[in-house]
Amino acid sequence: MIQVSREKFEELVAEALDTIPPDLTRLMSNVVVTVVDDPPEPNLLGLYTGVPLTERGDWYSAVLPDRIEIYRNAICEICDTEEDVIEEVRITVVHEVGHHFGIDDARLHELGW
């Protein structure tokens, strides 16, 4: 287990978001990414809550933003080095962004995320 300050962890999340190709980030809509210290359930590193882009229709209007939560303590608990944290944050961010695009867990795991 490694300790990473909230400020540093938020920087790592921002850097992970910057690795997503601009063509994809331009398509992201009405979504916020936040760092949360602890997950609502064990073994959860991140969580997407909302309506994926693939399920939005004409009815989708005036709704609160989707949320991507990245769980700082859960990620730090499974990592031994800062490099491990960097990699796990990147994997988790990309995985949760994938859900925003409507990709399910099975396909994300097939793709290595």
C-beta pairs of 18-22 under 8 Å, 24+ apart in sequence: 19/90, 19/94, 20/93, 20/94, 20/97
Does residue 1 lie within any of the structural domains?
Answer: no
Split at pLDDT 50, 70, 90, the class of 109 is confident
Whole-number Å distance between alpha carbons of 66 and 49: 6
The answer to whether the Cα torsion of 18, 75, 113, 53 is positive or negative is negative
Rounded to an integer, what distance in angstroms lies between the CA atom of residue 51 and that of residue 38?
23
Q: How many structural domains compose the chain?
A: 1
Tell me the pLDDT band of 113, cut-offs 50, 70 and 90: confident
pLDDT(112) > 90: no
Range of the domain at 38: 6-111
Evaluate whether residue 35 is within a structural domain. Answer: yes
Residue 36 within a domain? yes
Which pTM was predicted? 0.93
Residue 11 lies in a domain: yes
The answer to whether residue 26 is domain-embedded is yes
Give the E-state strand segments of the chain in sequence order. Answer: 31-36, 46-49, 66-71
- CATH number, domain of 41, equals 3.30.2010.20
* Percent of the residues in the chain that have a pLDDT greater than 70, as a whole number: 100
Nearest to 45 by CA among 16, 21, 78, 12: 78
Query: Residue 66: how many CB atoms within 10 A of its CB?
Result: 21
Whether the pLDDT of residue 78 is over 90: the answer is yes
Reply yes or no on whether the pLDDT at 65 is more than 90.
yes
